[in-house]
Amino acid sequence: MNNRQEWPLYEIFIRAKSGLDHKHVGSLHATDARMAIEHARDLYTRRQEGVSIWAVRSADIVASDPAEADALFEPARDKVYRHPTFYDIPEEVKTL
């Protein structure tokens, strides 16, 4: 099969039994959505890692541009006041 490079790439997300969210675990090649789920099951849940699988075509993911990292993320650096660490917590609140 010399055309297997053409199999689309899928990103795989697995939700663990105790987890609330699906976490990215890796990627794989598959010809269609059904095969992506089956491959993900065989590749990423061999040791009972999960109870739910999401597969997303990598081409469908919109990503930020690393070249724009400065413009996107740098402006947040000097705004420490956005962290909720400047409040006095009332003594009555025990479990915050």
In the complex, which residues of this chain contact other proteins (CB under 8 A)?
A: 1, 4, 7, 28-32, 34-35, 38-39, 41-43, 46
Closer residue to other proteins in complex, CB, 26/69: 26
The number of helices, as runs of H, and strands, as runs of E, in the chain is 2, 3
Nearer to other proteins, 22 or 41 (CB): 41
Closest to other proteins by CB, 6 or 91: 6
Buried b (16+ CB within 10 A) or exposed e, 53-78: bbbbeeeeeeeeeeeeeeeeeeeeee
Q: Which residue's CB is nearer to other proteins, number 52 or number 72?
A: 52
Q: Give me the least distance between CB of 49 and other proteins, in Å please.
A: 14
CB of 48 to other proteins, least distance (A): 14
Q: How far is the CB of 60 from other proteins (least distance, A)?
A: 19
Q: What distance in Å separates the CA atoms of residue 36 and residue 42, rounded to the nearest whole number?
A: 10
Q: What is the dihedral of CA 28, 30, 34, 40, to 10 degrees?
A: -20
